[in-house]
């Protein structure tokens, strides 16, 4: 698992919430201020900030405060690490299916 320097526990845990996934969806389109992020959600600002902090701690996003405006952006390495973990495991599973199909094909030829 050393390959993944990103903390996958925290990243997957942060992804396990629909509001946090919706925040990520919007940030994939570009950086946004906290007040822009809050617009589509019926959430009090402290609740939204709690989600933003959880996403920051997971490494999936970062934020910077300039003056009175806090702007959030995607940190692609963490998103990529979670996607890579899943893709690699799907590939292992699919390779096994391919090997099974090839084995069945060989068996059929022998009949």
Is position 55 an interface residue for a second copy (rule: CB under 8 A)? no
Nearer to a second copy, 47 or 68 (CB): 47
d(CA 50, CA 7): 19
d(CA 64, CA 73): 9
Q: Which of 53, 80, 101, 102 binds a second copy (CB under 8 A)?
A: 80
| 9-48 positions binding a second copy, by CB under 8 A | 9-13, 15-18, 21, 24-25, 28-30
Q: Are 11 and 58 in contact (CB under 8 A)?
A: yes
DSSP at 4: -
Compute the least distance from the CB of residue 27 to a second copy, in Å: 8
Nearer to a second copy, 17 or 64 (CB): 17
Compute the least distance from the CB of residue 68 to a second copy, in Å: 26
Compute the least distance from the CB of residue 40 to a second copy, in Å: 13
d(CA 86, CA 15): 13
Tokens found for residue 4: 């993944």
């Amino acid at each position: 698992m050393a390959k993944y320097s990103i903390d996958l526990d925290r990243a997957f845990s942060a992804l396990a919430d629909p509001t946090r996934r919706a925040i990520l969806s919007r940030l994939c389109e570009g950086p946004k201020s906290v007040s822009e992020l809050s617009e589509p959600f019926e959430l009090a600002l402290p609740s939204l900030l709690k989600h933003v902090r959880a996403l920051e701690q997971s490494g999936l996003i970062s934020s910077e405060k300039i003056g009175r405006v806090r702007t959030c952006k995607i940190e692609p390495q963490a998103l990529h690490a979670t996607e890579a973990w899943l893709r690699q495991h799907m590939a292992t599973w699919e390779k096994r299916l391919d090997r099974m199909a090839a084995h069945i094909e060989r068996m059929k030829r022998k009949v």
